[in-house]
Structure 1
Amino acid sequence: MEKQITVMSKTAFAKMVERAYTTPPLLQGNKGTLASVITSHFAQMSLQNNVWKRDTFRALLLQLHAEGCFTLLKNPGFIAVLANISAFGNKTVRDIQGWKKETAVPEAQLASLIRYSFAKYPVPEFLEHVFNTDKKVHMYWYIQLGRGDSVLALSGFPVSYTSSMAHWFRLTPPTYTVPQAIRRAQALGYGATTERAEVIAWSVLANGFENEVFWAKVVQFVAKVKEEVSLDKLQVVLEHLEALRVQQPDINMKGRTWDALLRQAEMWKAEMVKRNDAAGYMQWKPAEITDFYKAEGNVVYRTVQLTSSEALYEEGYEMNHCIAEFTDDCALGEAAIFSLRAYNSNATDTDFRRILTIEVCLKTNDILEAKGKYNEMPTQEEDKLVKEWAAKEKLTFSCEYYDGFYEPPTEEVREEQYTVTINGWCIALGAIIVLLIRGCVA
């Protein structure tokens, strides 16, 4: 029988919070109860230093319970957001006890609470999501903007911005992550179109900001290219440039054209594939899992198990993700990789569309993840196909599978007593990541 977290009445909840608040900050484990979740967060807040963290965390918990935010309080992931807010409890601009609930949606409640706590001045909505992460510097940027500081004055900002770039940063759509927002605004400041800036934002340029002197010049170059620049082509060019940069630290972009650079990059990529194939071709025995088959009208959905390093590379290349890195796991019999594809019922086996790449852990028979092109999360329709196949093959789902895919709970929330299963935590944590990607926080 599954363990459950129980949220108690107002008086009992207040007593529980007070006990957790006064408990010495010793190492605490999560025992599957709301009390243990809250106590473990208090345990990470010193009694001697930065006492405002504990005081703010207590005030947040009590105010949210008093306002009837029960769905929020039963979610361990949302409680972690409250702990992050509390880390800046000495920088709040309003009294926590003055916050009032205006919506029944927990994500919107968190967004409202963040704005109430830190924003005297407008802050871009996408930055509300940073309190769902472990990036304290990004949280501090929210606080700086909320108190009226300029984007150009943000502490530890990794890119040298112009006033135009700072303007575009503030206008970032809510669905962007912080690194994507930085690259998008940078590209727009260099004169890129909105479409080109979006391609740059979704490329590997948003993976980090090391060697920024060089990569800023690359962003400027790509922003001004007149030819069409698709994401897959840009990724190949960026990989090629990184290889050149490692070999030639003084490399620059002067005198380069997009067409010539793309040709060089594709030739380099083809050569790298040949070298890798020659050096590391591997093949392995397929796992004893039957492929999925389902016909719907003129479309046939099938999974194809990938049983060679060449097949993994081809899948990764076409889907623009890193599944080729799983070669050793598959060869050792630890993982099995499947490609979910859509075929026209009247077409040949070579005429298909790749939908998802699915990883199965053979030790536990868990589906660890299913990712679309560019590591996109499954749609609800695609998720149904995966679950239908899993049911037939008696495959289960790990928490990692829900890292980004979320289905809202259907059970009714009661004011005084309600529960959430430990297995449900995985779904709840997935919802936090969705906020980063899809901008669910209103």
Structure 2
Amino acid sequence: MSARARKQSAQRWLDRALAENQPFSQYRKFYWNLIRVVRSRSSILEIPSGEFPANVHRLGPLVRALAEIARRRKHWISMPELWDNTETSPWRQFRSLMRHLFERYPAPDFLAYHWMTRRPIEWGHYLYLHMAEGFSVRRFMPRSEIPISPQAAKFIRDVPPHLGPYSGLRWAQIRGMGGSIELANCIADHTILRDESTDEPFWESVLRFVIRNALLSLVEVMEIIHFLNEQKFEPGEDVWGLGGGPLPLQPDLTLKGRTLRSLRRHMANWRDDVLRKRPELAKKTFDWPRTEIAPLVHQDGDAKWLIFELLSDRALKLEGVAMNHCVETYVGECLGRKSSIWSVRIQRSGTPKRMVTVEVDPRTKQILQAQGKCNSTPTAESKLVIQRWAEQEGLTMSTTD
């Protein structure tokens, strides 16, 4: 397609989008007058260079935003014809237009730019108009469930412009609590708290906890929020694996009385903690037949080594709890015969001690991985025993192991 043909196709697409998004008759004349002014005084609707249709994708949200602006005609404080545009960037031009049409008082940039997003939240429009009239965010109804204190309201105009209404309010909430800009950016951008939650009092306690423990790294903050959300709100089936059930594993989980040290310990040992409270999670609910690979019993001095296949989801859960890794999530692969899980143990006296968990592909007879406790590298002694077993059964080692 030639450059001229691409431009013509893009222009037809834009003309069709403008026509399809025009509002009802009572606002239609204001809409087309707005479009005329925007085209004559800015590059907001200018077709960017590039291959069609990729080059016009950014214009879709802008067209819808202009239609929404026309529908809010009763909130205009000035007519488009009086707009004095001095900006060069389309995005800044749009922001200038919003100021001209709506803002008796300066409104936050993040609420103005939200009009241009692909999926705008309607109450975000109302909040923008509310603040453009000069009213406080704390007087806005309907309000988000995210609490905005007087301290948080002071930061509402400092919210980064790329954030949406929910994440923007979250950012201001964190800053109002005394959180740093870096912490507010991290949580509002990269965690589930960028959206409104179903239990804001709980998450407020979490935010106060991470702010109080100021030495936490941002990575650990994200890990804590992810962990708490999984344990308290996500279905157990998704977190624990098959047999976890539809309800959360720890719906009563709270940070009340917890220290950072105790929370870290619980995050590292949560499977043991949950299993003690809910022993039914260790009950066998699925099993599968043995593979053709034989187990190993090897005597080495006073030590007896055993390698045997785990054949139920209960066995995988117990192995995962004891070894502190995620082998219990392999139930589906084992049922589908895509994986075979083996436990390597040593017995010198008493109960055999778990040393390594091994995954084998039963179709190719390849050892895919061998992990010690907490996904550590197996000891040299364990590796020798696994090698002996591999030679006995004709198993090959993965090149990535």
Q: Tell me, yes or no, whether TM beats 0.5.
A: yes
Residue 55 of structure 1 deviates from its aligned partner by 3.1
Q: Which residue of 1 aligns with 2:202?
A: 214
- Which of 128, 134, 142 lines up with 1:156 in the alignment? 142
Contact 2:43 2:89 in 1 (8 A): no
Paired position in structure 1 for 2:14: 34
Paired amino acid for 2:211? A
For residues 185 and 33 of structure 1, do their structure 2 counterparts lie closer, same or farther at Cα, with a shift above 3 Å needed? closer
Q: Structure 2 CA distance, aligned partners of 1:85 and 1:250?
A: 45
Question: Are 1:182 and 2:162 matched, yes or no?
Answer: no
Q: Which AA in structure 1 matches 2:195?
A: N
Match of 2:222 in 1: 235
Q: Residue deviations 1:261-288, cap 9 Å, x none?
A: 133224448867332234447999xxxx
Give the residue type in structure 2 aligned to 1:34.
L
- What is the CA distance between 1:126 and its match in structure 2? 2.2
Contact 1:141 1:154 in 2 (8 A): yes
Closer, same or farther: CA 245–33 of 1 in aligned 2, 3 Å: closer
Is structure 2 residue 39 aligned with structure 1 residue 65? yes
Q: Which of 68, 77, 80 in structure 2 is aligned with 1:93? A: 77
Please, what TM-score do these two structures have when normalized by structure 1? 0.52
Q: State the alpha-carbon separation in 2 of the partners of residues 277 and 245 from structure 1.
A: 23
Structure 2 residue matching 1:72: 3-state secondary structure: coil
SS in 1 for 2:135: coil
Distance 1:96 1:283, change over 3 A: farther
Partner of 2:347: none
State the SS of the aligned residue for 1:149: coil
SS of 1:234 mapped into structure 2? helix
Farther off after superposition, 117-126 or 190-199: 190-199
| Offset from partner CA, 1:79-105 (integer Å, 9 cap, x none) | 232123223222112112211221332
- CA distance 1:280–1:150, change in 2 (3 Å): farther
Whether contact under 8 Å (2:148, 2:169) holds in the other structure is: no
| 1:160 aligned counterpart, secondary structure | coil
Q: Secondary structure at the match of 2:45?
A: helix
Partner of 1:405: none
Q: CA deviation at 1:238?
A: 1.9
Matches within 5 A, 1:285-296: none
1:140 aligns with 2:142: no
Query: Are residue 167 (structure 1) and residue 151 (structure 2) matched?
Result: no
Task: Say which of 253, 256, 273 aligns to 1:254.
Answer: 256
**Does the Cα contact within 8 Å between 1:187 and 1:219 map onto a contact in 2?**
yes
Q: 1:173 to 1:5 in 2, by over 3 A?
A: same
The gaps in structure 2 that reach 5 residues or longer are: 48-55, 234-247, 272-319, 339-367, 370-398
1:115 positional shift: 1.1
Tell me, in whole angstroms, the C-alpha distance in 2 between the residues paired with 1:237 and 1:38: 46
Structure-2 residue corresponding to 1:275: 328
Per the TM alignment, residue 162 of structure 1 is displaced from its structure 2 partner at its CA by 0.9
Asked which structure has the greater RCO (Cα within 8 Å, sep 6+), the reply is 1
Partner Cα separation in structure 2 for residue 155 and residue 260 of structure 1: 40
Larger Rg: 2
Q: Distance in 1 between matches of 2:328 and 2:157?
A: 45
Cα distance in 1 between the residues matched to 2:332 and 2:85: 61
2:95 to 107, 111, 115: 111
Q: CA RMSD in A?
A: 3.2
Displacement of 1:40 after TM fit?
Answer: 0.8
Q: In 2 relative to 1, CA 38–257 (structure 1 residues): closer, same or farther, beyond 3 Å?
A: same
* 1:127 CA displacement: 2.0
Shift in Å at residue 196 of structure 1? 2.7
Deviation at 1:191, TM superposition (A): 2.2
Aligned pair count reads 258
Name the TM-score, length of structure 2 as normaliser. 0.57
C-alpha change, 1:86 and 1:172, in structure 2 (3 Å) is same
Query: Deviation string for 1:393-414 (max 9, x for gaps)?
Result: xxxxxxxxxxxxxxxxxxxxxx
Q: What is aligned with 2:24?
A: 46
Report what 2:110 is aligned to.
126
State the alpha-carbon separation in 1 of the partners of residues 19 and 6 from structure 2. 16
- Of all paired residues, the percent bearing the same amino acid is 23
**CA-CA distance at 1:150 after TM superposition:** 0.1
1:121 and 1:147 in contact (8 A); partners too: yes
Matches within 5 A, 1:310-325: none
The equivalent position to 1:193 in structure 2, one of 180, 185, 193, is: 180
How many angstroms does 1:116 deviate by?
0.8
1:210 counterpart SS class? coil
Structure 1 unaligned runs (5+)? 8-29, 285-309, 312-348, 351-442
- The alpha-carbon distance between structure 1 residues 268 and 243, as it changes in their structure 2 partners (threshold 3 A), is same
